[in-house]
A and B are shown apart, each in its own frame.
Chain A
């Protein structure tokens, strides 16, 4: 070390000397400045104007293949979340199945909890099938609630492929919950831990309202993970988790007897009825729980609202969408490629966890079913708004 030092280091002790500075450089003449700046400005302008045309030649997506194109996925949320992971994974895989093997460019456009990016897509997306919107519960719920910031409508978009998810509602056993019957007629209401009443939690809130469960809610948690921890600490009594988080968050504590799985949200079948979730075949659905509690099948305004929200936020939760005006041939090609992808056994094993055990749905009738699910009646809208106002003191703007 010492022998190296003399070669590597200048003499010691110089670091303490005060900064001595070089003389001030002279000013440049106006001509030099103008000349240099102007020539670079021309270069920049030329690149901006010409580069656009050279780098992105006009597309041809109606000729049965997407060769030479790039599929741009607009992900209206920040990178790193569940939707982002889903979109990037599907995009990477899907582009291998589309004839012509287009490139894949995921674009995150976070802002306004997904509203800004989706607004932008609705306003300016290309209609040649190369620009695709990733839809998810965060953009669907504000649209259902009719928030004024929402400038898009899922009625003006066409679905290419949809993918569902599911979930279970569970309770802390120590809070005195052994089964569904313990949800009603309580001395002390159960505490539900939520993130925000105007997000994905809304479906659970409507479920509680439908069941007439004895529940009070505290919102403000950062995410479902922290809610799960709060339940384990005994701070709250009720929580729900989606299927992909079930394994890590609920299964263990349910086995230890610390938590009791009460019901699943269920899934909508082809005819729009609530059926058991294939991932939780043993767990009763919200509709069955109602029967158990009240001795009759659920019906009426609240149940209609629940079914609508179940479809929007679970069964058809995530989807790829293109503008309504997109050329039919391009949409069909995308849809058929997605269908092939979804049917591929190798993909299915690879995707099991990302998709949370729910298939990619892209059959020919899918668009009609999604259309039905995404048609929200005005009575459902007003009931949900009324519920938020009366029970949670939230006025939707």
Chain B
């Protein structure tokens, strides 16, 4: 075993192999930087190039890219509050909070180091998993997978910063939104209103970028001035590394959770990263700083989202069952070389297995190194006025989200969810449970039904794995409820002076018309879901109905508290603030951009929107606006021939 491992390492000294690994790594980093492309984009671009290569070269190239996509996707999440991929939205919670305090470089350093460690631990896990994978995968049957999905949503709702009822409501609404499309059990369409577009469900990229990215842009596009402060690592490399080392247990825990989430089919990077965050919060003694720039909130998830990719390779290689799209493409590539994934791969292609392991580890180190060296340059981005960045970000995010499905409808969904995300953010609803609910909706329902129809009655509840998950699930909820009731009792004693507590600067519109509206939207959405699910077949109806009844209860409580607060306050509460007005205006700009795209195509929309936004909203200098637009124009012209990127076509394009 050691012989093959060393032989594989020696083969990596071959310059052509090393070059491929390097190219793959750089391509992966670039893909990670662009919101919406991620691992799928990286493999899709590189796959056609590999046809005609020898298997080792091709593998080095693809693994190099796959290993580092989640290293660089942190950059936009931390610096701009716009996650490069759905799983980076977890790192964003604390990373972006840290960056807003002027510690972007510190956040990035922690993130990159953790990504590297996650990758290396993932590679080690891959090696060790070779003999263990089979019993591991086989011990997770439908009931365990079902409990895992429930745990994912529940943890997200309970552990998010802010009000637990708001967290649960957001998680449940995410579940309802995730059920739009074809039902996993009966193949009937739900909540689609006869639309083929909705039949596939909403695109994850559009939802994630809308709810986090566009919402963030809208709330910050009024910043015309850059931050003048100096960006430092807070004590140089040495201190950055020392700080990171002090969280080494988090790194290892995160990586192990990541591997595990990758191994299990149907869990995936987003949920795995979230579970890592959840355990970091759950096991921390002092939880107050989470969401406000706690390094532990960066280290664990970043370590996890890199090791997920390694974990994902385990079922892909050993069973031929890919856990995600990138590994599915990798599987396709292996098949074209006549390499049959399956248990026999260990005996027949052990050298390639080790090549994969080494490539993964080396690429993780290289990727982190490249990012690490550019931390200071990258962190300077925060000096650019946000409004100037916003113009380009809107264009890039919409283009990125268009790539997945190639449908303009996804972009409309994205803007609508952007408005909704802004409302959630401003009124103190945590957004993470919403996204996790959306991601896990279908797996949750799928494994519930499989459990229900494959096991007698409640026998499955007695399985040891299920019991462990139940304990993990129930204990924090109980604890949170006790805390909530205590908090309520205290406020009752205070005779409703809740408004006098220092307001969270993150959610300026709490206890206002806006939060009342938000609670109203929740209640209406759940009621609508409940009513329209009445027409589904009994099997397709059960889970949506349970979720929407639960949602109605929680949003009812919210609505009740909101109304009571308003009645008691009697003072004029926050109404149409300046920031709210600006956010709405920004969304109008986005809508206009999309309308232009629909009419004249993406190229024209960009050449109109970018200079207009830069000059009118951002008030950038004319020279800046011209260079900015011209650069984007050239990139857009070149992009489709360099990368597999399609520009949205408008009505005009169909004429010429």
Stretch from A105-113, A259-267, A299-307, A333-341 forming part of the interface with B: A105-113
* Residue pair B619, A248 in contact (C-beta under 8 Å): no
* Residue pair B233, A9 in contact (C-beta under 8 Å): yes
* Residue pair A36, B615 in contact (C-beta under 8 Å): yes
* Residue pair A32, B265 in contact (C-beta under 8 Å): no
Q: What's the nearest-Cβ distance from chain A to residue B641, in Å? A: 9
Task: Give Cα distance in the complex from A8 to B48, angstroms.
Answer: 42
Q: Which residues of B contact A229 (CB under 8 A)?
A: 137-138, 265, 319, 321
* Residue pair A244, B228 in contact (C-beta under 8 Å): no
Q: Which residues of A contact B616 (CB under 8 A)?
A: 28, 33
Cross-chain contact of A352 among B137, B141, B338, B405 (Cβ < 8 A):
B338
Q: Which residues of B contact A221 (CB under 8 A)?
A: 446, 450
B604 at the interface (CB under 8 A from A): yes
Which A residues, 9 to 38, have Cβ-Cβ distances below 8 Å to chain B? 9-10, 12, 14-28, 32-33, 36-37
* Residue pair A85, B332 in contact (C-beta under 8 Å): yes
* Residue pair B199, A197 in contact (C-beta under 8 Å): no
Q: A28-B616, A80-B329, A85-B329 are in contact. Are A113 and B40 (CB under 8 A)?
A: no
Task: Give Cα distance in the complex from A74 to B442, angstroms.
Answer: 28
Q: What's the nearest-Cβ distance from chain A to residue B627, in Å? A: 11
A149 at the interface (CB under 8 A from B): yes
Task: Give Cα distance in the complex from A228 to B626, angstroms.
Answer: 58
Q: What's the nearest-Cβ distance from chain A to residue B443, in Å? A: 8
Task: Give Cα distance in the complex from A383 to B300, angstroms.
Answer: 56
* Residue pair B47, A88 in contact (C-beta under 8 Å): yes
* Residue pair B227, A15 in contact (C-beta under 8 Å): no
Which A residues, 90 to 119, have Cβ-Cβ distances below 8 Å to chain B? 92, 106-113, 115-116, 119
Task: Give Cα distance in the complex from A368 to B31, angstroms.
Answer: 46
A247 at the interface (CB under 8 A from B): yes
Stretch from B183-191, B275-283, B571-579 forming part of the interface with A: B183-191
* Residue pair B332, A248 in contact (C-beta under 8 Å): no
B449 at the interface (CB under 8 A from A): yes
Q: A40-B629, A111-B405, A232-B138 are in contact. Are A220 and B450 (CB under 8 A)?
A: yes
Task: Give Cα distance in the complex from A315 to B291, angstroms.
Answer: 56
Q: Is the interface of B mostly helix, strand, loop or mixed?
A: helix
Task: Give Cα distance in the complex from A239 to B66, angstroms.
Answer: 32
* Residue pair A248, B232 in contact (C-beta under 8 Å): no
Considering the complex, give the chain B residue whose CB is closest to the CB of A104. Answer: B48
Task: Give Cα distance in the complex from A119 to B199, angstroms.
Answer: 15
A2 at the interface (CB under 8 A from B): yes
Q: Which residues of A contact B320 (CB under 8 A)?
A: 225, 245, 248-249
Q: Which residues of A contact B137 (CB under 8 A)?
A: 229
* Residue pair A1, B600 in contact (C-beta under 8 Å): no
Considering the complex, give the chain B residue whose CB is closest to the CB of A349. Answer: B338
* Residue pair A198, B187 in contact (C-beta under 8 Å): yes
Chain A 259-303, CB-CB to B under 8 Å as 1, else 0, gives 000000000000000000000000000000000000000000000
A84 at the interface (CB under 8 A from B): yes
* Residue pair B265, A33 in contact (C-beta under 8 Å): no
Residue pairs across A and B with CB atoms within 8 Å: the count is 268
Q: What's the nearest-Cβ distance from chain A to residue B478, in Å? A: 31
* Residue pair B656, A15 in contact (C-beta under 8 Å): no
Cross-chain contact of B230 among A10, A251, A351 (Cβ < 8 A):
A10
Considering the complex, give the chain A residue whose CB is closest to the CB of B232. Answer: A15
Considering the complex, give the chain A residue whose CB is closest to the CB of B641. Answer: A55
Which B residues, 334 to 349, have Cβ-Cβ distances below 8 Å to chain A? 335-344
Stretch from A44-52, A129-137, A155-163, A179-187 forming part of the interface with B: A44-52
* Residue pair B633, A248 in contact (C-beta under 8 Å): no
A328 at the interface (CB under 8 A from B): no
A362 at the interface (CB under 8 A from B): no
Q: Which residues of A contact B188 (CB under 8 A)?
A: 394
Q: What's the nearest-Cβ distance from chain B to residue A368, in Å? A: 31
Q: Which residues of B contact A41 (CB under 8 A)?
A: 604, 607-608
Q: Which residues of B contact A81 (CB under 8 A)?
A: 328, 332
Considering the complex, give the chain B residue whose CB is closest to the CB of A223. Answer: B321
Q: A28-B619, A41-B608 are in contact. Are A79 and B196 (CB under 8 A)?
A: no
Task: Give Cα distance in the complex from A111 to B200, angstroms.
Answer: 6
B625 at the interface (CB under 8 A from A): yes
Task: Give Cα distance in the complex from A106 to B44, angstroms.
Answer: 11
Which A residues, 52 to 75, have Cβ-Cβ distances below 8 Å to chain B? 52-53
Q: A88-B48, A219-B186, A236-B454 are in contact. Are A44 and B633 (CB under 8 A)?
A: yes
Give 23 pairs: A residue, B residue, CB < 8 Å, sorted on A.
A1-B236, A5-B236, A8-B376, A10-B232, A12-B236, A15-B230, A17-B102, A17-B229, A19-B227, A44-B603, A52-B656, A80-B322, A106-B48, A111-B196, A113-B182, A116-B196, A226-B321, A230-B450, A235-B142, A236-B454, A247-B342, A252-B344, A353-B337
